[in-house]
Chain A
Amino acid sequence: MAVTPSAEPLRPLRPPRKRRVNESLRTWRWTDRIAFVLCWASGLSLCLIAAAIVVYMAVKGLQFLSFDVIFSRPLPSADQQGSGGFWDAIVGTVLLTIIGIAIATPIAVATAIWVVEYGRPSWLARAVESGIEIVAGTPDIVIAIFGLALFQQGIFAPLSFTAQGGAVFGRSFLTAGAMMSLIALPMVFGATREGLQSVPAHVREASYGLGKTKIATIRRVLLPSVKPNISTGAALGMGRIAGDTAIVVVLLGATLRIDPEGSVPGVGLLRGTGGTLTSYVYNNSPAGEGNAPQKAYAAAFVLLLVVIALNFAVDAIAKRGAKTGLESTRLGA
């Protein structure tokens, strides 16, 4: 259909309206108005709650937070002046998080690769996914009790302390870390699986088309593509581990000080019991034995900072991945 260009430009029939008629909230239906207000209100109130937590913990925590309280070891003393700080709890948190994520990441990534890239027979792949969902949905206290029952078996004696008479204690950084990995595993698995599923099929075919085997494709093409996803999942999982209390209480002993077991330096530390910031907060809160709320607030504030930092790390990794990874072409494709 040919359009003949007119000699003079078309003139609007009336001057354009500056504002659309229906733009005002007044003209909306009542239900829409209520929903609109509720959406705003819920978003804002969540912001307020988050801010309230951070501000409250900051105010309470910063009062008592000092260089001394962070870097001095807890001491057994009824007097608050003499009971030291929570350096051991910080070390315990870091150590437990590292052990947990170091166990969880390889297993989760390998499982995700199997499910997405192999996944035959399909009923088995579905079973694996359901299994991980069950682990993800299991309360941490249940995982902790299960872990205690498991690691008190004689076969796991090298992982922890054996009392006189041969009773295996079952509580150590290694056993707690092993069960903590179950907390982080679904996060890493989910993120890796999403990443693998969003790699377009033609990228895999391009690698096969160059005469590469499946395993070479996975190692050299797919794993680099999903590296940002793995990092995101790992950071999320670390946040979960750092914030978990039940497993620390049941499987790590939730002691105030880290007690190495045996005389070998590194191994003794791993086989020994200890505590984390979460158990320190619990023990020192009015609910616990210490009844030193000032120190509990200070430790809680440090823990909050650690978890918030991990969350920002997740965002940063995701943004960097979007810039350099396959994400950029995925959007374009």
Chain B
Amino acid sequence: MIEETEQTEETTPVTDDAPLAPMGPGLPPPVRRIVVDAPPTVAHATAVNHGVRSAKEQAAGPVRMTLEALSVFYGTKQAVKEVSLPIRQGEVLALIGPSGCGKTTLLRTLNRLTELTATARREGTIALDEQDIDQLEVTELRRRVAMVFQQPNPFPMSIFDNVAYALREQAMKRPGKSVVEPLVVDALQRAGLYDEVRDDLDRPALRLSGGQQQRLCIARAIATRPEVLLMDEPCSALDPRSTAVIEALIGDLRRDLAIVIVTHNLQQAYRVGDHVAFMYLGDLVEYGPTEQVFGEPRAQRTRDYIGGAFG
């Protein structure tokens, strides 16, 4: 049972130039012990080790996407409540929060996949390179803001065709293999899959292992050189070894892309994220650099979530 804390503390205005926490990541955040029918007490809990940060310091690039007071409704239910966020090139933004907090909805709104749901409605603006995404052709937007899903979902065709499918424009005349092949190879190389599948590009993609399939999906998504890559729990269907490979890949890819990753796995958010946004019941509770959110969270709700008091 979680006591409601004062609203003022929770809805801290989102600022990304907040000073870095004086507390290092080594010190565990305080955690409230939850006792039924007892007033909440704040005590230093046992140390929660979030693992080693793989993300190295890197100068953040220009802002690629800007969310302004973004709200998403399903019917009358508001799933995302007035969220404002910048998404920068060269960094990984990790969206964390308990189930049903709206983080996947937020992610899917960024390339207008929520529009496929008949009851969904959106308010507020999303800008991609200072252009409103509503003014873009939806197919062009989705080529520039690509997405990787929770389940590896290659199409029932060969490995080569899976990547080529993303590349081929929907023109009257499709580009030939000589045009597409170098681009396919390049995408597979950037996704770290080429060395494993070099000799059987014509094999059905569904014969690959789960981790390979997911890297193929990443190759497919980055083949069109998008500016933003959205990842919806890309590792939750994979084993730890494949997860490690994909996390390393995320670290490499963020040089050229802005990456937004939704994850249930706090350790993963800590490992791969440069910035972390914590959402709760549709509200953006906290946004800041990973060290700060994990080391010195400003909102009590974030403290509780990161400390493992609820999930």
Contact = CB atoms under 8 A, between A and B. Distances in A.
Given A216-B170, A329-B206, A208 B217 contact: no
Contact of A225 (B116, B139, B156): B156
Contacts of B111: 209
A211 B142 contact: yes
A211 B143 CA distance: 5
B139 A211 contact: yes
Nearest to A216: B170
A208 B115 CA distance: 11
A210 B143 contact: yes
Contact of B142 (A202, A208, A221): A208
A211 B222 CA distance: 12
Contact of B149 (A205, A220, A224, A326): A205
Interface residues of A, number: 24
A196 to B, nearest CB: 13
B86 to A, nearest CB: 22
A207 interface: yes
Interface string A130-167: 00000000000000000000000000000000000000
B196 interface: no
Contact of A210 (B146, B150, B156, B206): B146
B209 to A, nearest CB: 11
Interface-central residue, B113, B206, B220, B224, by most chain A CB under 10 Å: B206
Contacts of B157: 220, 224
Given A213-B139, A216-B170, A324-B204, A208 B151 contact: no
Contact of A324 (B155, B156, B210): B156
Contacts of A326: 156, 206
A208 B116 contact: yes
A208 B149 CA distance: 12
Contact of B224 (A202, A211, A225): A211
Contact of B221 (A209, A225, A325): A209
Q: Give the interface size bracket for B toward A.
A: 20 to 34
A333 interface: yes
Given A224-B157, A325-B156, A205 B116 contact: yes
Contacts of A319: none
B191 interface: no
Contacts of B142: 208-212
Interface in A180-220: 200, 202-203, 205-213, 216, 220
Contacts of B253: none
A333 B152 CA distance: 9
Contacts of B217: 206
Contacts of A202: 149-151, 153
A225 to B, nearest CB: 5
A207 B217 CA distance: 11
A213 B156 contact: no
Contacts of B220: 206, 210
B151 A328 contact: no
B153 A203 contact: yes
A212 B146 CA distance: 11
A216 B220 CA distance: 16
Contacts of B21: none
13 contacts: A202-B151, A203-B153, A205-B149, A206-B153, A208-B116, A209-B113, A210-B220, A221-B155, A224-B156, A224-B157, A225-B156, A329-B152, A329-B206
Given A202-B149, A329-B151, 17 more contacts: A202-B151, A205-B116, A205-B149, A206-B220, A208-B113, A209-B111, A210-B143, A210-B166, A210-B221, A211-B142, A212-B142, A212-B165, A212-B170, A326-B156, A329-B152, A329-B153, A333-B151
